[in-house]
Amino acid sequence: MTQPTSSLYTPLPTSITSAVQYNMGRSFLPQETAVNIEKAVIEGKLLEVVSVVRSTLETASSAPVNIAVTGDSGNGMSSFINALRGIGHEDEASAPTGVVRTTQIPTSYSSSLFPNMVLWDLPGTGVDTQSLENYIEEMQFSQYDFFIIIASEQFSMNLVKLAKAIQGLGKRFYIVWTKLDRDLSTTALSEERLLQNIRENIRETLQKEKVYKPIIFLVSSFEPSLHDFPELRKVLDKDVSDIRYCGPLENLSHAYKKVINEKVTILQGKIASKSFQDSLGIWNADDLEECLNAYHLLFGVDYVSLQQVAQCMGKPMEEYRAIMKSRDLQTVLRGDWALSCMNCNTTSYLYSILRYIPLLGNAIINCLRKWKHRRLLEIVVEDTRAILKKILTDSII
The beta-carbon contacts of 233-237 under 8 Å, at least 24 apart in sequence, are 233/84, 233/113, 236/84, 236/114, 236/174, 237/114
Q: Is residue 120 part of a domain?
A: yes
Number of domains in the chain: 2
pLDDT in tens, 39-83: 999 999 999 999 999 998 888 888 889 999 999 888 888 889 999
**How far is the C-alpha of 25 from the C-alpha of 92, rounded, in Å?**
36
Is residue 112 domain-shared with residue 135, that is, in the same domain?
A: yes
| Model confidence at 1: pLDDT above 50 | no
The answer to whether residues 375 and 318 touch, using CB atoms and an 8 Å cutoff, is no
Is residue 222 domain-shared with residue 276, that is, in the same domain?
A: no
Is residue 149 domain-shared with residue 263, that is, in the same domain?
A: no
Is residue 94 domain-shared with residue 202, that is, in the same domain?
A: yes
The CATH number covering residue 183 comes to 3.40.50.300
Q: Is residue 249 part of a domain?
A: no
Q: How open is the CA angle 359-360-364, to the nearest 5 degrees?
A: 120
Is residue 70 domain-shared with residue 30, that is, in the same domain?
A: no
**How far is the C-alpha of 200 from the C-alpha of 206, rounded, in Å?**
10
The stretches of the chain forming alpha helices (DSSP H) are: 14-17, 31-42, 46-61, 77-85, 132-138, 157-168, 180-186, 191-207, 229-271, 276-280, 288-299, 303-313, 317-321, 329-335, 337-342, 345-354, 360-394
Is residue 180 domain-shared with residue 274, that is, in the same domain?
A: no
Longest alpha-carbon distance in the chain: 96
Q: Say if residue 29 is exposed, middle or buried (CB neighbours under 10 Å; 0-12, 13-18, 19+).
A: buried
Q: Is residue 180 part of a domain?
A: yes
More confident residue, 296 or 269: 296
Is residue 259 domain-shared with residue 238, that is, in the same domain?
A: no
Question: Could you tell me the pTM of the whole model?
Answer: 0.73
More confident residue, 284 or 391: 391
Is residue 143 domain-shared with residue 34, that is, in the same domain?
A: no
Q: What's the pLDDT at 199?
A: 95
Average pLDDT over residues 210-227: 91
Q: Domain span at residue 178?
A: 65-242
**How far is the C-alpha of 313 from the C-alpha of 393, rounded, in Å?**
11
What is the DSSP-derived secondary structure letter of residue 119? E
Among 214, 242, 270, which residue terminates a domain?
242
Is residue 115 domain-shared with residue 225, that is, in the same domain?
A: yes
pLDDT in tens, 362-384: 555 566 777 888 888 899 999 99
Q: Is residue 382 part of a domain?
A: yes
Among 242, 266, 291, which residue terminates a domain?
242
pLDDT in tens, 229-245: 999 999 999 999 888 88
Among 242, 276, 291, which residue terminates a domain?
242
How many residues are given for the chain?
Answer: 397
Helix axes 46-61, 303-313, angle to 10 degrees: 20
Is residue 174 domain-shared with residue 296, that is, in the same domain?
A: no
